[in-house]
Amino acid sequence: MAYVIAEPCIGTKDTACVDACPVDCIHPKKDETGHADAEQLFIDPVECIDCGACVPVCPVSAIYAGDDLPEKWVSFQQKAADHYGR
C-alpha cells in the first residue's frame, strides 16, 4: 500500500519530500501547474514504490505508510487517489 501525506503538510508544503523520492511521484511540485493553489502535496498511490525515503525528510512528520495512517487522517488516502484520478 502506498505512502500517504496527511494533514500536517497543510500550511507547510515545503516540498522537502519531492527531492527524496526516487520515482518522482509526489506532486504538485514547485514548478508544476497547481502548486500555488494546492493545500498540500500528494503521493501518487500507483507510482509510489513504498520505499519510505520521504518519511524522515518531512519536517512535520506528515507522511505515513498507508497501513500506519492514524485513524483521524485515513481520509487523506482517498484525497490522494482523487487527486490523481486513481
- Interface with ligand SF4 includes 69 (CB under 6 A)? no
Q: Which of 16, 27, 11, 6 is nearest to 53 (CA)?
A: 16
Q: How far is the CB of 9 from ligand SF4 (least distance, A)?
A: 3
The one-letter amino acid at 24: D
- Interface with ligand SF4 includes 16 (CB under 6 A)? yes
Task: Report the C-alpha gap between 35 and 27 in whole angstroms.
Answer: 8
Report residue 21 as a C-alpha cell.
523520492
| Residue numbers at the binding site for ligand SF4 (CB under 6 A) | 3, 5, 9, 12-17, 20-21, 23, 25-26, 40-41, 43, 48-54, 57-58, 60, 62-63
